Chains A and B, each alone.
Chain A
Amino acid sequence: MSRPGFVLEVDERTPALLMHEGEGFRLEKLPLGSRVIYPPESLPGFRDVDAEIRRALDAPLGRPPLRELLFAGMRLTIVFDDLSLPLPPMQTPDVRQRVIEQVLELAAAAGVDDVELIAGNSLHRRMTPAELKRTVGERVYRSFFPDHLKNHDAEDKANLTEIGHTKHGEVVEINRRAAESDLIVYVNITLTAMSGGPKSVSVGLASYRSLKHHHNVHTLRHSKSFNDPPNSAMHHSYNRMAALLAENVNIFQIETTVNNSLFPKQMDFLNKREWEWNLKDQAAFLAVRRANELVPPARRRQIWHRNAAPYGITSVTAGAPEEVHPITLRSVLRQQLTEVNGPSDIGIWGLPYICPYNVNSIMNPILVMSLGLGYFFNLYRNQPIVRPGGVAIFYHPVRNEFQSVHHPSYIDFFEEVLAETTDPVAIETKFEEQFATDPWYIHLYRNSYAYHGVHPLYMWYWGAHALEHLGDVIFVGGDRKTTARMGFRSASSLEDALEMARERVGSSPTITYHHTPPVAMADVR
């Protein structure tokens, strides 16, 4: 039986607690009285995932069984979530592989010949052949790559089609092949309450023209939070777009959720609550930390990114997106939701080595910002864990390092845009169009493995709500110049950070440490 999430109050007996900080971690003693939000323990996964998939495909919600939707001569497009999910990547066989294989078996049995597989990568970078193979499995890869297993190309104007406009005038433009198919089967992993559902097709297969309606500062400032769809302007937009898609396109959604088992057995201490570490866990912590310090940086990064999570699959639901997604969300919240009594003056987060946009890559400073002020800050329902005007303290080295193949426009964004302004509105007004339409960035997005030119701006907007809400942001261990470029401050220790925070929150602030990963969503009353 998995124990629920809870909030610990630090007292004299509380040991030092684990903080992730990029490609490393530390133990930190928190001041007495600090609250620590722990997620529910990892739920058990299905013993027989394939059987669950079969069950879902045979008994979907709001649709006939999948086998009845497949027929000879049809155009079938299978779309799957790209490598930005889950985090960390799961151990193979990936659940998407398992789902796709069953879908293809049904399609083959029905005599379907015209099948395309598309990674729903939106404006993310293309997946490499190796990454595609890891996701869909060897069998599917060999059968379909390269002609019938592709990445979505949001800049291939000839292969985009306009579905129409929502009642708010939002243009919905998606991948032509998918739009003109008899059936889209979307294979999803919903890692947080932000993803899946109406977001899948309307974002994963969309163009910049469509995305700008919700990926903008105004919408993100009115998404409180973007992990709480009923209170998220972004999701309201997704819903409108999904409604329009539902009138025009036939979508069969297959959604899965995972538990909180992020780290393999050798690093099990990272999955556990600190006071429950046994001798083996303590030894493992010391050994891993020491080895981590000794290994050269490039090799360290490689090792971390090779980590494959031993997730258990906790739900598989298929059918009409609007009926599937509420079930999925319940499963997500069952794993992640923890009730918290009110906000505090200071919120603390340890930022891990991985976010959706640096899989097999470097977490550059802008991604650090979006992970902390975007994803982690927004892991709440009702209100943030920090009060308005409070202080956010993050742990991360925030090195000035970039992967020039994956993130070329990020480099320019950091060097030029942030040198001029860090105000999201000013950035959006002055720079978005240049970055979004720069021919070189478009060339690299389409032909190399680069995120779209506009992507760093979106990452900056991701933190727009937090930037408006918070009084100060401090990075413990952060590179001073790099954090200053982004408009933040750095401290060499927690004590120094708390001292710096005094000017905002006084000398006896209330503190909440949001102990994630694993993912914990705070239900702040």
Chain B
Amino acid sequence: MNTALEYHRSPGRYFAGRVVTGTKLGGRAAGTVAANLAPLRLADRKAPPLPGPGWTRVRTRLSGICGSDLSLLTGRNSPYLSPLVSFPFVPGHEVVGETLDALDDLPAGTRIVIDPVLGCAPRGMPECRWCAAGQHSRCDNITTGGLSAGIQTGFCTDTGGGWSRQLVAHRSQLHVVPDDLDDARAVLVEPLACAIHAVRRANVPPEATVLVVGVGTVGLLTVLALREFTEAGPIVVIGRYARQRERARELGATEVIESERAMRALRRKTGGFVVKPERGEEFLLGGADVAFDCTSGSGMTLATRAVRAGGTVVMAGMPNAGADLTPVWFRELTVVGGYASGGGDFPDAMGLAGSAPLGGYVDAVYPLHRWAEAVQHATSAGSLGSTKVVFDPRLDR
């Protein structure tokens, strides 16, 4: 039997959550809404069977709660993704676990991190042009082949997900964790790989002024990736909470600004004029060279309004809100999506996770049966001084 948190199809609950969290009060109580309205249930089911050769069962050691998971549970994610998942599925795509089956080059009991993208290889299909180019995050075959639809492990009914005792993973998804990398750092490898990928997508010029909006896990790891893999100049970070801002400094942020008065503070760094429309947010005529939106889309408005003409805005987090695109047109901005990871991102992330000052980032570990508390904690992580909240199914008896 496999204890798992199962997300089942329930348009009613989905829309109820979406409506409630769309209000001011509901937005503030998003964690409570998710805990009570999300179509998520703790279930004991049969463990997912192996889909075929080259697959192994994985026992979960730790699995993180990501911003995209929270968007799912609060109904804030986009219906665009609905055909790209298969129900019911077990969420959890940030996974460190151990293999239960031997593979050709991997003995059973190997500690691994999962690259959750379900591209051509796990689906048993001839490689599409993207998978062939090492860019499996762009795979066109995510709804077909030997698996049900699902962009990633954690969104596919056939694979299970990290929020369970056991799931299945294909050899192509597995990255061996070095012995000297503990689980708490290993569970950060997947989000770190995503951050590295987004940073590489941005092609940050040397000495560029970079703005990072949001300093949850994605934002913090983006700052780290910027310092490690680019020659960015000043990195200005906008974050609401003191602990987050402190962490950003430790990772190499030049300047950390509170959300209120962010535009003015950024103006002082980059020059330019602040302009206030009759309705809507202020914007800069001037601004950063590159901006990363590391929120769940709520930072897109700020990012597009704080970047100079001709600048670049990178969407590093899954969006859950719309934004006025007028600045994109008027200021001739380049908007870049950064989804998942590809190529050498995972190995680089594995290497960096061991050396970077990421100690204490996993500061809340929950058993599956306390998922409601875990979700509420993760939703309010910033205000509670936390960074990453994870599940450890081994704590479930």
Contact = CB atoms under 8 A, between A and B. Distances in A.
B268 A412 contact: yes
Interface stretch (B212-220, B259-267, B291-299): B259-267
B265 A416 contact: yes
A408 B274 CA distance: 10
A415 B273 contact: no
Contact of A416 (B268, B272, B273): B268
A415 B274 contact: no
Given A415-B261, A440-B274, 11 more contacts: A408-B274, A411-B261, A411-B264, A412-B265, A412-B268, A415-B264, A416-B265, A439-B273, A440-B267, A440-B272, A440-B273
Interface residues of A, number: 8
A142 interface: no
SS class, residues of chain A in contact with chain B: helix
Interface string B248-272: 0000000000000100110110011
A415 B267 contact: no
A55 interface: no
A57 B277 CA distance: 50
A289 interface: no
9 contacts: A408-B264, A415-B261, A415-B264, A416-B268, A439-B271, A440-B272, A440-B273, A440-B274, A443-B273
Nearest to A417: B268
B273 A412 contact: no
B272 A415 contact: no
A440 B271 CA distance: 8
Contacts of A408: 264, 274
Contacts of A415: 261, 264-265
A440 B268 CA distance: 10
Contacts of B274: 408, 440
A21 to B, nearest CB: 26
Interface in A199-233: none
A411 B263 CA distance: 12
Nearest to A405: B276
Nearest to B276: A404
Most buried by B among A415, A439, A443: A415
Nearest to A414: B261
B58 to A, nearest CB: 48
Contacts of A412: 264-265, 268
Contacts of B264: 408, 411-412, 415
The 3 closest A-B pairs by CB, nearest first: A440-B273, A412-B268, A412-B264
Interface in B69-125: none
Contacts of A443: 273
Contacts, number: 19
Contacts of A439: 271, 273
A378 B264 CA distance: 33
A439 B272 CA distance: 8
Contacts of B272: 440
Interface in A414-452: 415-416, 439-440, 443
A411 B264 CA distance: 8
* Size category of the binding interface on chain B: under 10
Interface of B: 261, 264-265, 267-268, 271-274
A279 B46 CA distance: 87
Contacts of A416: 265, 268
Contacts of B265: 412, 415-416
A412 B265 CA distance: 7
Nearest to B272: A440
B23 to A, nearest CB: 25
Nearest to B273: A440
Contacts of B273: 439-440, 443
B247 to A, nearest CB: 18
A443 B271 CA distance: 13
A419 B274 CA distance: 21
B263 to A, nearest CB: 11
A411 B265 CA distance: 9
Interface string A366-389: 000000000000000000000000
Nearest to B269: A416
Contacts of A440: 267, 272-274
A457 to B, nearest CB: 14
A74 B271 CA distance: 45
B195 to A, nearest CB: 28
A439 B265 CA distance: 15
A363 to B, nearest CB: 19
B236 to A, nearest CB: 12
Interface in A437-476: 439-440, 443
A138 B97 CA distance: 82
Nearest to B275: A440
B237 to A, nearest CB: 15
A400 to B, nearest CB: 10
B50 to A, nearest CB: 57
B325 to A, nearest CB: 25
Nearest to A435: B268
Nearest to A444: B273
A408 B265 CA distance: 11
B285 to A, nearest CB: 9
Nearest to B282: A404
A290 B328 CA distance: 53
Nearest to B284: A440
A415 B255 CA distance: 13
A443 B272 CA distance: 11
Nearest to B261: A415
A443 B285 CA distance: 13
A412 B260 CA distance: 12
Contacts of B267: 440
A413 to B, nearest CB: 10
A200 B261 CA distance: 37
A412 B257 CA distance: 12
Nearest to B286: A440
A415 B274 CA distance: 16
A421 B264 CA distance: 19
A43 to B, nearest CB: 46
A523 B267 CA distance: 47
B280 to A, nearest CB: 16
A439 B274 CA distance: 11
Interface string A508-522: 000000000000000
Contacts of B268: 412, 416
B324 to A, nearest CB: 22
A365 to B, nearest CB: 14
A34 B351 CA distance: 70
B373 to A, nearest CB: 31
B245 to A, nearest CB: 12
Nearest to B268: A412
B351 to A, nearest CB: 36
B180 to A, nearest CB: 39
Interface in A10-46: none
B218 to A, nearest CB: 26
B274 to A, nearest CB: 7
A416 B268 CA distance: 9
A215 B170 CA distance: 72
